[in-house]
Amino acid sequence: MLRLISVLPLFVVIQVCAAAPIALIDQHNEIRPQYAYYQSAMNSIDIGQTLTVGVTGKLTRLEMALYGDSDFGQFTIDVSTRSPNRPPDFSEASVLASTTVFKSAIPSVSDVGLKPSFTAFDFEGGPLVRAGDALAIILRNDAGSVSWWHGVDNNYPGSIYKFFSHSSLALLASAAGYFRSYVAPVPEPSANFLAAACLFGASVVRSCGGSRRRFGCS
């Protein structure tokens, strides 16, 4: 009699061979100090950057070039979904991942010789994203201000809207905020892999039919 447990070794092999993926930079707009401008998130004004995912996997980290008006208070960074070639949805319903950050974790405007630099923000576990997904990084701040450094031209080709604010989606539509997104790749199973897996499972089942001592058959 055939039993489902007969294909258990296939899944065991897959689990043993699978290694934890290393997060790599997916999308990015590198800092260009000669073009150091900024926009600020304050009160009811949210600002952000759109991007299009290039690698399927878990979004584990963002790096953003930010600075705060003080070392006091906190702000929120959301990663949200959006429709391709459309501005983002600012509602909480579209949020994939979120983290709350104390302003003391980013450079302060009082720092001597303030220049753009990246600060890392991790998402524990990280949401699963797929190549081609249209996302937005949204910076929300209710007290004081948090500023995001950006360039002056459309040097990030991630989407039609580059840099936006809640009050005006056309604001700085030709600029791009400085950021990096990190994705730990999770490859999609190929057709060849799935076919091989089916053949392997079928051969195990046939073997079990002829010899109950092999592959844990009973």
The pLDDT tens digits for 134-178 are: 998 988 888 888 999 988 776 776 544 456 666 555 455 567 889
Token readout for 139 is 């910076």
The pLDDT tens digits for 106-127 are: 998 877 567 899 999 999 889 9
Residues 6+ apart with CB under 8 A from 13: none
Residue 215 is assigned to a structural domain of this protein: no
Do residues 178 and 200 share a domain? no
What was the pLDDT predicted at 111? 77
pTM for this prediction: 0.73
Is residue 10 over pLDDT 50? no
Is residue 190 over pLDDT 60? no
- 216 dihedral zone (left: phi>0; alpha: psi -120 to 50; beta): left
- Identify which of 41, 59, 63, 147 has the alpha carbon closest to the alpha carbon of residue 95: 59
Residue 111 is assigned to a structural domain of this protein: yes
Do residues 8 and 115 share a domain? no
- Decide if 81 contacts 89 (C-beta within 8 A): yes
Distance CA 138, CA 125 (A): 19
Do residues 129 and 86 share a domain? yes
Do residues 8 and 33 share a domain? no
Residue 112 is assigned to a structural domain of this protein: yes
Distance CA 218, CA 197 (A): 22
Residue 108 is assigned to a structural domain of this protein: yes
Report which DSSP code applies to 201: H
Distance CA 23, CA 47 (A): 26
Residue 99 is assigned to a structural domain of this protein: yes
Based on DSSP, count helices (H) and strands (E) in the chain, helices before strands.
Answer: 2, 12
pLDDT band at 209 (very low <50, low <70, confident <90, very high): low
Residue-averaged pLDDT of the chain:
75
Do residues 11 and 100 share a domain? no
Is residue 6 over pLDDT 50? no
Residue 202 is assigned to a structural domain of this protein: yes
**Domain of 32, in residue numbers:** 23-185
Q: What percent of the chain has pLDDT over 70?
A: 62
Do residues 87 and 11 share a domain? no
Do residues 35 and 63 share a domain? yes
Do residues 97 and 120 share a domain? yes
pLDDT band at 216 (very low <50, low <70, confident <90, very high): very low
What was the pLDDT predicted at 171? 53
Do residues 29 and 120 share a domain? yes
Residue 216 is assigned to a structural domain of this protein: no
Is residue 206 over pLDDT 60? no
Q: What is the domain-level CATH number for residue 43?
A: 2.60.120
Residue 116 is assigned to a structural domain of this protein: yes
Residues 6+ apart with CB under 8 A from 97: 59, 78, 79, 123, 126, 127
Domain total of the chain: 2
